[in-house]
A and B are shown apart, each in its own frame.
Chain A
Amino acid sequence: MTEPATILHVDMDAFYASVEIVKDHSLRGKPVIVGGHGAGATGAGGGRGVVTSASYEARFFGVSAAMPLITARRLCPHGVFLPNDPHAYSDYSERIRTVFSSITPLVEPLSLDEAFLDVAGAVKLFGPPAQIGRLIKERIAGLGLSCSVGIATNKFLAKLASTQCKPAGLLQVPSEGVAEWLHPLPVTALWGVGGRTAETLHRLGLRTVGDVASISRRTLERAVGDALGAHLHALALGRDDRAVVPSEPAKSVGAEETFEADLDCTEHVLRELLRLSDRTASRLRDKGLCGRTVTLKLRWSNFQTVTRSRTLPEEVDTAAEIYEVVRALFEKLVPERFRIRLLGVSLTTLSVGAPTRQTSLFGDPSNRLRLASGAVDELRGRFGPEAVRPATLLD
């Protein structure tokens, strides 16, 4: 049982809020709350966006991620509310990944602000894992940000460790003393245990991870089902054999938006679909990709979510081509009266490069679109993303 602890989980502390503070130093020490996409710097609407990130100063007032902004305002009326700035976050995310890949190629990003690293091969170069953890923290501090690092023999324990030592901590789970560290934790610490499963476990009198570890696997499987039972049994014993898999190229590119007020008119929906198609197309071309499967995602006001997709005979990468498909999907799907809370457009079945296209004897409309889109990209590159828009989207 002396597996070396070489798996690191690095989790940024209050990532979006911290990036906002790096952008504007005067915010340091203030309760910063990021969320929504309201217009203007006065920030996120009072409407219905949710908090995506809150600085630790704001958390002190009870503000937490995923909380409706309106609640956050009530809890922390003097907070600095800022809209999401996805550009800045992905920019900083990129810089963080550069730090990770300076240590090891075995980096598995989970999202913009956290990743697993397997440093088994980096030990000779940079010293033991704890030292590597400190090195990472140092390099990230160089960006003006802070992170927490969990170190353990597997992904489950490493992630748990980083959660336990937040913010700005570093915790190495001792290979020898896993049980002592793990067993006092509540069952919700187990990856995959949410409200429902926690309730089931509580009914069986299982409150801590140690309780779960103490009963037989058979009993557990009977209580929560075979797959989950076996999985929890292994985790409770500190076992997790998932490898760190370096990130693969994007499988999907898209954009989605939750609306301040439900959309109930086709004209508005089509405008938003055009906006999202435009954003998706722009992102595709930005990444040098094109795709064949177009997906429309739609959430009704009752939170029921539906998706519809169509795979095209040829790849696309322009707003007009994507919009044509999502519009058709929408018109097929939508009842006479509706209330829509969220819309999303995405492309999958991606390939690298511009679409290959069978040319036609009688002129080639797709080629003109492609040239126009290239010009749009150039203008946006120089004058910002809002410089050129489809005319129907001008206010």
Chain B
Amino acid sequence: MKLRCERDDLLEAVQFAARAITNRATLPVLAGLRMEATEDGTVAIGATDLELTMETQLQAAVDEPGTAVVPGRLFGDMMRSMGPGQVSLTSGDAEIEISSGRGRFHVKAMSVEDYPQLPTRSGDEVGIELELASETLAVGLSQVVRSASSDETRQVLTGVLWEVEGKTLTLAATDSYRLSVRELSVSNTGEGRNVVLPARALSELARTLQGTSGRVRVELKANFAVFRVSGPDSAAETVIASRFIEGEFPKYRQLLPQGYPNTLMVGRSDVVEVVKRVGLLAQNNMPVKFQLGTELEVSANTPDVGEGQEILDAEYEGEAMVIAFNPRFFLDGATAISGERLTLVASDGLKPAIMKAEGETGFTYLLMPVRLS
């Protein structure tokens, strides 16, 4: 393999792919970055930890097509430290030569044969294929991923459910304290399918999709998903693949209550500000209390620290009631929804409450209260 490219392009690609490299990799070769240069002038750079695979492409002058695996961390550090301009790479028997300006470096290469096949490149067994606008999926993911659990003891809750039925894709995540559900319209080549994908992979996907305007193709295969993101400019393709999480996602639909008696409507950015302020006095897992009414009183109290309350004007239908939430969970919900006004629907201080943007139907955030003493 022999090629010349712009350092900035190479750095960008390397930094992207290297995010799939983890410290807990089971095979030594997984600390490497796989590079493959083809005659048409594209260089694909990818990495995997067998769960998550990230691969992207850049344009280069390819003098000699070929494949190489380089130590990811070192190569990334080298690219970062180089000045802008042209970089050339030449792979030899057991090492790779990197030159830039007047510098020449030789780095021991890793075994190409030992490197596992990237699922991003496997052509096999296409299950169903969906397609939707990148930006739509990015927004949907950011709304849902935040509710996934970080507690590894219940693996399936560290993921996001992808429920495909005809032209509807429903994303759902819960850490058992709150539940995010988002419905999206997609084009679909097949029938229905339910899979759970790790939140980590989906965060990377959301980050990749952020600010892009193209479309994203989703292939749901036997035990992994492949996301193909085409860049706005060219044929260059960025691909993320992720294994499914095994296990059954809780039946979340039955948790969504129907018809609650008490409805509060309040300015969304106002309530976010107030809960942030008052929440400073809810330390050590203390909750923020909401006294629901046409004057919404938000209060918090931590023994030995202090207490505070603030009042907001609101519209309210129902009985006066008090409900308490973990302020972080409340803010996660209030910042996930869009719109000027936030609707909070509740039954009593022990039953789940629902947060929505006024008039919006596509996204639901369900939040369990904190039981007060």
Which residue numbers of A lie inside 8 Å of B, CB to CB?
290, 292, 313-314, 351-362, 364, 367
Contact = CB atoms under 8 A, between A and B. Distances in A.
Query: 6 closest pairs, A vs B, by CB?
Result: A353-B373, A354-B373, A359-B368, A357-B371, A360-B176, A358-B370
Interface string B67-104: 00000000000000000000000000000000000000
A313 B371 contact: no
A317 to B, nearest CB: 9
Q: Which of A314, A362, A364 has the most CB of B within 10 A?
A: A362
A357 B285 CA distance: 9
Interface string B162-205: 00000000000010111100000000000000000000000000
Interface string B333-353: 000000000000000001010
Contact of B284 (A292, A358, A362): A292
A361 B285 contact: no
Contacts of A362: 176, 250
Contacts of A313: 285
A3 to B, nearest CB: 35
Nearest to A349: B284
24 contacts: A290-B373, A292-B284, A314-B285, A351-B303, A352-B303, A356-B285, A356-B286, A356-B324, A356-B371, A357-B370, A357-B371, A358-B285, A358-B287, A359-B350, A359-B368, A359-B369, A359-B371, A360-B368, A361-B174, A361-B176, A361-B250, A361-B352, A362-B250, A367-B371
B285 to A, nearest CB: 6
Interface string B252-271: 00010000000000000000
A314 B324 CA distance: 15
Contact of A359 (B174, B179, B255, B370): B370
Interface of B: 174, 176-179, 250, 255, 284-287, 303, 324, 326, 350, 352, 366, 368-373
B287 A356 contact: yes
B17 to A, nearest CB: 37
Contacts of A314: 285
B313 to A, nearest CB: 28
A364 B350 CA distance: 11
Contacts of B303: 351-352
A352 B303 CA distance: 9
Nearest to B177: A358
Contacts of B370: 356-359
Given A313-B285, A356-B287, A361 B371 contact: no
B285 A360 contact: no
A285 to B, nearest CB: 11
A361 B173 CA distance: 12
A24 B179 CA distance: 63
A168 to B, nearest CB: 42
Q: Which of B176, B350, B373 has the most CB of A within 10 A?
A: B373
A313 to B, nearest CB: 6
A347 to B, nearest CB: 15
A358 B373 contact: no
Contacts of B371: 356-359, 364, 367
B2 to A, nearest CB: 56
B372 A356 contact: yes
A358 B350 contact: no
A289 to B, nearest CB: 10
Q: Which of A292, A353, A361, A367 has the most CB of B within 10 A?
A: A361
Contacts of B287: 356, 358
A364 B370 CA distance: 11
A199 to B, nearest CB: 43
Nearest to A359: B368
Given A290-B373, A353-B373, 6 more contacts: A313-B285, A351-B303, A356-B371, A357-B370, A358-B285, A362-B250
Q: Which of A353, A355, A358 has the most CB of B within 10 A?
A: A358
Contact of A361 (B179, B324, B373): B179
B250 A358 contact: no
Contacts of B369: 359
Contacts of B178: 361
Nearest to B368: A359
Contacts of B286: 356
B177 A361 contact: yes
Given A292-B284, A351-B303, A356 B373 contact: yes
A357 B286 CA distance: 9
B368 A361 contact: yes
Contacts of A356: 285-287, 324, 370-373
Q: Which of A290, A351, A359, A367 has the most CB of B within 10 A?
A: A359
Contacts of A359: 177, 350, 368-371
B179 A355 contact: no
B254 to A, nearest CB: 10
